[in-house]
Structure 1
Amino acid sequence: MPEAGAERRLRAILDALPDLLFEVDLAGRYLDYHSPRTDLLAVPADVFIGKTLHELMPHATADHCLAALQEANTKGFSQGCRIELQLPSGLAWFELSIARKDNGPGQAESFIVLSRDVTQHVLAERKLQRLTQLYAALSQCNQAIVRCKSEAELFPVICADAVKFGGMKLAWIGVLDAATGVIKPVTWVGEGSDSLSGLVIDTSTDASQGLGPSDRALRAGEPYWFQDFANDPTAQVCHNRARTYGWGAAASLPLHRRGQLAGLLTVYAGEVNAFDEAARSLLLEMAMDISFALDRFADEADRLRAQASLRESEERYRKAFHTSPDAVNITRRSDGLYIDVNQGFERTTGWTAADVAGKTSLELNIWRYAEDRQRMVDALHRDGQCHNLEADFCRKDGTVLTGLMSATLVRLDDVDCVLSITRDITDKKRADERITQLAHFDQLTGLPNRSQLQARFDFAHQLAQRSGEGLALMFLDLDHFKNVNDTLGHSMGDRLLVQVAQRLSSALRAGDTLSRMGGDEFILLLPAVNEEDASQIAMKLLAVMHEPFKMDTYELVSTLSIGIALYPYDGLDFETLSKNADTAMYRVKQASHNNFAFFTQEMQTHSARHLQLNNAMHFALARGELSLHYQPQFSLQDGHIVGAEALLRWQHPEMGSLSPAEFIPIAEDNGQILAIGEWVLRTAVTQLKHWIDGGMAPMVVAVNLSAVQFRHPNLLTMVTQILDEVGLPPQYLELELTEAMAMDNPMAAIALMNQLHERGIRMAIDDFGTGYSSLSYLKKFNVSKLKIDQSFVRDISDGQDDKAIVTAIINLAASLNLKTIAEGVESASQLAFLRLQGCDEAQGYYFSKPLPVAAFEAFVQAQQPVS
C-alpha cells in the first residue's frame, strides 16, 4: 500500500477514536491535540496549546497528572490516572493512559496522553457501590479490583479485606512460578504469617496425608476446605501450627488468569466449621473476581502494547489489531459487510476471517437478537458512536456469549465503515447471576428462599387487595425427617429434600410459589384461592408423597404435616399468616402426622398460653412457686402407711394452680425439666430425712422420673450425690419410670437399673399395662414394683375386661417376685377386689388426696391401720 494511503488510513482511524488524544512534554505543557471530540474539552484547543497543566487545571488535579507523567517517564507508560473536571456541560471524569514517545536521536521525549470519558462508568460504579452494601466483604474486594492496576497492588488489599471485613485470622496469596511449577507466598495479612517463611507448594511428592489446604487445592485444581483444621486426621502436619495460632478452619481457592492456574488464595478462620454455605459462596465469588482482575491486568498490558505499536506505524497497528484480546472488526456501514476482523474476534466467536469475509452479520446470524443490533445502528446514526452496548452473540458452534461492545464510525479508503470492539463478559455475567442466585434462592433445592418468597407474597397481596380474592400460606414439614439423617446420613437427607421439592413443585399451579425455609420446612404461597381450593391442593400434595422415594438401594416413604392460614381471615400480613400456618402445622404434628389443618383461634389461644407458660417456667424455681405434695401409700395386708409419692405442684401468682399434665411436657421441651427434676428429688429426699429424724416411722418416698432425666448420662451421679449429701439410706428412695420410657431403649434401661440397684435404690414401673412391654425384657428389669395404672383400677368394680387385666398384672408380678401397687383407688369395692387378688399396696383418694407437708404430717399422726 502507498505510504500516503497508509498515513491517510491511520489518520482516519485516529480521527475515529472516541477519546481525547494529547501530546505533552514532561513539564506538562501541551504540544499538540488530535480529536474531533471538542465537546469534552474544558477550553478550546487553540487556547490550551502551549500552556501547562497548572495553568488550565486545579492545582491538585494538575499535580495528579504530573505524577502520572513521571510514572510514564520512569516505566515507559502509566495507566489508570483518573481526574475530575468541570466542563460546560457539567462535572465529568476522565481516565488517562500515558505512554512515553521516542522522537528519535537527539530529540526531546514527549508523551501521548489518551483521555477517556469515563463519566458514565464512574456514575455506574457509584450506583453499584450503593446496591452492594449488603455484601460488605465482597464489595470491599471488588472495589480493590476496580481500583488496583496490578497484582502487586491488589493482593495486599485482598488479604487485608479478608481479615478486616471477612473475619479471617490470616489470609495469604501465593503466585505460581511458571518455570518451576511451584507456588510461593507473595503477600499476607494476619496472625501466624511467620509460619509462611520458606513455604513452597508443589506436587512433586506423592504424599496424600498430612497436607494443608493449599497443597490439596493445588493438587485437585479446585477449592479445598478444612472445617476442623486442628483435628482433621488428613492434616496432621498442620495441627501444631493450627493450635498455636488458633486456626479452627482453613480453606484454599485457586486463582486463574485466562483460564490457567495463576496462584492460590488461602484463608484461616478462628472458628471450627466457619465455612458454611454462605461463607463458601463469598470466598468463591472473591476468588472468581480476583481471577477476573488478573484477566483485566493481562488485557490492559496487551492494550498498552497495542497503542504504542499503533502510534509508530500502520504495520504495528495491524499487529495490535490482530493480537488484541478483545474481538475487533470493521464492517461497511451501508450493508454491514465484514471488511476485516482480528484474532480476538476469531478466538472469541469461532468465526475465522475467511468465514466472514464478504458476508454480513445477518447472513451469519451472529447477533442473537435483532433488536440489539438495531440499538447499535440507531446510536451510530444519532451520535456517530455507540458505547458499552451489552448484547448476546452466537458463536460459530452455536453457543452464546455475552459481550460489551463499543462502536464508532470511521472512513477508510473513502468508504464509511464501522469499527467495533467487543469484550466477552460471559463469565462476569454468570458471576452476577450467581450472586443473585445466592441472595434469592435455596442452594440445595433451587427453590426461592425467604426473601424471594416475601417479594412474591407482596405482589400477590397487592393483587388480592385489589381483586378481593383470597390467598393462602401453607407450612409443610416432613414427618420423622430426623430419622433419615440419623440413620442414613445428612447427604442422603439432602437428596431426599431435593426429590421432595421436585415432586411437590410438579403438583402445583404455574402461579404458586414453593420455598424452602431450611431443614425439612417448606412454605407454599397460593394466590387466588379459597378454603376449598386450599383443601384440594393440600390433599393433592399429601397424595403425591405416597409413592416411595427411590435412592440407591433404599425406598423411603415420607409424609407431610401441613398447616394452612388464609388471607384475610387468619392475618393481613406475611408474618401473621406464616406464624399462624406454622401453629396449625404443629397441631397436625402433635395429633396425627400425614394430614393438614387450617388455623383456628383455639390454636392461637393454645399457642399463646404455651408461650406464657414457657416464659414463666424460667422463673418458677427462683421465685419459689414450685412445691411438693405427698400422697400416702398403704399396705393392703395390714393397712399401715408404707410410703408416699412426691407430686409436683406449681402455684403461679397470676395463672393460679397449674396442672403437671400441662406444664411438664413444656419443661421437657425447653430443657427446664433437668433443673426441676433435680429440685424435686433433692426436696423429697430432704423432706423424708427430716421426717425420719423427727421421729416419724421410716417409709419409702417415690419420685417420678421424666424421659429426659432417665436418658441423661448424669442421672446416676446426681441421685447418689443427693442421697450422700442428705444422708438418707438409699433403700428409702424409689424412682418411678413409665413403661414406655423403659422400652424406648431396653438395653440402656437395664444397664441403668442394674447400677441403681447396686447402690440400693429401688425402681418401679409406673403406668404398667399402658405400654408395650416385652416379657423377655421385663424379667431382666431390676425393679421391685409394678404400678397398676388408674385407668384399669377405675372400672374394676363393674368392668370384666379391667378386672381381667388387673388380675393378670398382679399374677405376672407375683411370678416375677415383684410387688404391685394400684393407683387411683377411690372406693371400698375397688379396694376389696384388689385385696382379694393379692395386690400388695394402694394409693388414691379413698385414703387421701396429695397433701402439702404440714397436712401430710398431721395425716400420718392421726392415721390408724386401715380395716
Structure 2
Amino acid sequence: MSPDRHENWKQYQQLTEPVLQAALFLFATATLVSGVYQSLNSMNHGIFPQLNLITAGVSFLMGAFPRYTSLTLKITIATLLGLMSIAYSLIFSGLIGTAFLTIFALHILYLTVSSPGRALGFMGFTVLLFLLFSLIVGQAYVEYGISHLNRMNSPQQWLTRGIALAFTSGFAAFAIILLKRRLLGLLRVQQKTNTRLQQREDELKALAYTDPVTGLPNKMAFEKELHSRSHAGTLGEGYIIVLEIYNFRIVNSLIGPAKADLLLEHVGRLLKSYSSENNFIARYNGVEFVGWAGGWSESDLYERVALFSNRMKQIVREQFPEITLDIRAAASAYPRDGESIEECYKNAGIALYRSEGISAAAVVLYDPAMKDYSSEEMILRSALEEAIEQDEFLVYYQKKISLKDSRVIGLEALTRWQDTASQFVSPMQFIPILNKYHLMNRFGYLILEKVLKDVPEIDARFGADLHIAINISPSLFLDPGFPEFLIAAVRNKGVDPRRIILEITEDVFIEDISKLRQIVEKLKAESLRISLDDFGTGFSSLSYISNLQLDELKVDKSFIDDIHTNEKKFGIFSSICTIGHLLGYTVVAEGVESEAQLTRLLDTDCDIAQGFYFAVPAPVIEL
C-alpha cells in the first residue's frame, strides 16, 4: 500500500472506530443477557453460559478502555467471540438460533471498519461455515430433534430472538447512521472547502485582473476583454482612449502616497461612471488609463473627455485644494488607425506625446503624419522613456575648485546614460530628445531624487559643507509644482537647503519676468540657491540678472576656451566678474581644460573654476 493510501486508511479507521466500540458494547450486553438468561432458566449446555458471561466481560473491557487495545486486536477478538457465539447457536439451535443475526452483525462490522478484501474474505468464510455444517448434518454428526421445533412454542425463545434482533438491528442502525453523519459531515467540510477554494479563486482572479488602488480592471483585463469581443465579432468600431495624469510624481510628493492613492481612487470612481456595455475602462500602468469607447462619434469623444476633465478638476478643487491636476488625453480610431487593438493603442500613445501643451480638457486624435519621424529618433525616444521608467540613468559629479585656495568647495551633478548595449550615450544626443518629446520634466524629477539620495555618501567623502549644483531644465523650473516638490524632497532627505544650487539656463527668460521672480523668491525663501548657467549665450541681459535674486553666474565655456590667447575674451570675462560681484553674485568659470587657461583666470576676480583640468566627472564612489 502506498504511503498516501496507508494514511487515508488510518484516517478512515479513526472515523469508524466508534462503530467497533458500539459493536463491542452491544455484543457484551447481548452475551451478558444470554448468559444470565441461560443460567436462570437452567439452559445448561455445558460451559456455554459461563463462556457467554466471560465473553461479555472481555467485550465490555475492550469497549470501555479503547486506548489499551489496537484496532486490529479489537477486530480479531470481536471476530473470535462472534464465531464462538455462532458455533454455539448452530450446534444447539441450528437454523432457528441467533447465528444468522450474529453473522449479519459481523458482516456489517467488517464492511464498516475493515478493508474490502478482509470483509469479503470473512463473508466468504461464513458461507463456507454453512457448507461445513451441511456436511456435518449430512453425516449425522449433529442431529436436531423434535425439541428444536418445540422450542418455537417457548416464549422465552421468542424473547431471546427478539433481544438478539434488537441488538443486531440497533448495531446496524448505529453503524449506518454514524457513517452517514460522518459522510455528511465530510461532504459539508468538502463543500465549505470547495466554497473557500472558489472564493480564493475569485479573489486571485480579482487580483490578477483588477487594479487594487482604483478598483478598475487592469491592463491584462482590458486586453482580454477587447480580444474576447474581437474574436466574438462584437467589438465593432470605436476609439482607444489613453488618459495620463501629468507629473503625478510631483502630486505624490506634495500630498503624500496615502492621499495620492485616494486621488487615484477618485479618478477610478469617476472613470467607472463612464463604463457601460459598449465602453470598457482600465488602469494600464501607474498614471495611465486606457478606455474603449464603442460606437462613439468624434464629437462624443471630445465632449465626454472634456466633461471628465472638468468633473475631475472639480473633485480636485474640493478634495485636494493644495494641488492642480493636469490630465492629458489622446485617442485613435479602430479599425481606421490600426488593424489590431495593439496597433491602435500604440498610435494613441504617439498622439499622447503630442498632447502636452494642449488644453487638458482637449483630446488629441491620432494622425498618420505623427509617424513621420526618423526611425532612429523614435527608437531613441522609446529607449529614453524606458530608461526613465526603469531608472537607468547614472549621476556623475565634477569637482568645483576655489581659485583662492585651490580646495574643493562643490560638485556639479551631471547625468550619464548607458543604453541596453552598455554603451554610453552622449548627453548632447539624448537631452534634445528629452526636450522634444516632453520627457524632460520626468527625467529632471528622477535626477533630483538620485542626487539627494547621494548626499550622505558625498558628506562621508568631503564633509557636510560642500555645495551641490544640479542642472534644472527651463520646463522643469517653470513647472507649477516644482518648488513644492523640491522643498519637500530636500526636507525629507534632511539636506541643508543652503548647500543646493539650482543651475538654470538663460532659456527661462522667455517666460514673463514676474513669474520667474515669484519662483525664484519662493525657492530663495527656503534658502535654496540659484545659479545662471551658460551665461552670455542666450536671452540674459543686465536688466534680467539685476531683477532676479540669483546667487551665482556661471560663465559659458566659449569665453574660457581661448581666454589665454584672446584679449577681447579676457576683457569681457573680467568685466563679467566685476559686474557679478557688484550684484553680489559668485562667478564660476566652466570648461577649464589647461594650465594656461587657469593661469589667465587667476588674473581675474573669478571665484570658482571647474573642468577636465581639475577632474573628470565620476560616480560619487570614485571621487
Report the TM range for the smaller structure's normalisation: 0.3 to 0.5
TM-score normalised over the length of structure 2: 0.42
Larger radius of gyration: 2
TM-score normalised over the length of structure 1: 0.31
Looking at secondary structure, tell me which structure has more strand per residue.
Answer: 1
Looking at secondary structure, tell me which structure has more helix per residue.
Answer: 2
